[in-house]
A and B are shown apart, each in its own frame.
Chain A
Amino acid sequence: SQQGEEDPQALSIQEGENATMNCSYKTSINNLQWYRQNSGRGLVHLILIRSNEREKHSGRLRVTLDTSKKSSSLLITASRAADTASYFCATVVNRDDKIIFGKGTRLHILP
């Protein structure tokens, strides 16, 4: 079954609101990464959080990691129209360094 599962599958919010996406995984990881994909484009790396870290910030992005619950969240504050995209979490598995992507959350920012 899928290692990384994002929740929700789709999210629509008003511009200016905060958007929160969650990711759950099953096995022991070295790190967890979040990526953004605009329609018709390749994925763009947003942030990497290591298994011994609990929180990381980058601009309007805030990522948390709870290894006891095997879950992570991505918070985008003060959303903008340009944030409309799909967001994927990816886990690097400790056992073999394999990276596994989740199915993604489609975020739509309404004007």
Chain B
Amino acid sequence: DTAVSQTPKYLVTQMGNDKSIKCEQNLGHDTMYWYKQDSKKFLKIMFSYNNKELIINETVPNRFSPKSPDKAHLNLHINSLELGDSAVYFCASSQGRRGEQYFGPGTRLTVT
């Protein structure tokens, strides 16, 4: 059984569109994250939720809006997509804010 799953795996879209990426974890963790990994493999945290409450909100354009309907899900909605949004987006979860993280397989977003 997949511990942390993301959909879709690949997303190709045009500039200006709005898209969503979904993430689900079945580990019973209370903390979930969104990361962006650029072409140089640099991994940067975007958001973190603990028990459905936003606890980390890095300097991310407000075109990016996370939503956590429950502790097992953390979705990422992106408005008005730009070329620079092209990257791989990873979801992760952990038990507590200091614990080891379990990553999803990633969503490769390509904006044309």
Contact = CB atoms under 8 A, between A and B. Distances in A.
Nearest to B105: A42
Contacts of A90: 101
B105 A41 contact: yes
Contacts of A100: 45
A97 B41 contact: no
A107 to B, nearest CB: 13
Most chain A C-beta atoms within 10 Å of own C-beta, residue among B41, B45, B104, B106: B41
A97 B97 contact: yes
Interface string B74-112: 000000000000000010100001111111111000000
B43 A101 contact: yes
Contacts of B90: 42-43
A81 interface: no
Contacts of B48: 98
A98 B31 CA distance: 12
A44 B98 contact: no
A86 B41 contact: yes
B43 A42 contact: no
B37 to A, nearest CB: 9
Nearest to B97: A97
A30 B100 CA distance: 12
A33 interface: yes
Interface of A: 30-31, 33, 35, 37, 40-45, 48, 86, 88, 90, 92, 97-101, 103-104
Interface of B: 4, 33, 35, 40-45, 48, 56, 90, 92, 97-106
5 contacts: A31-B98, A40-B106, A43-B43, A92-B98, A97-B98
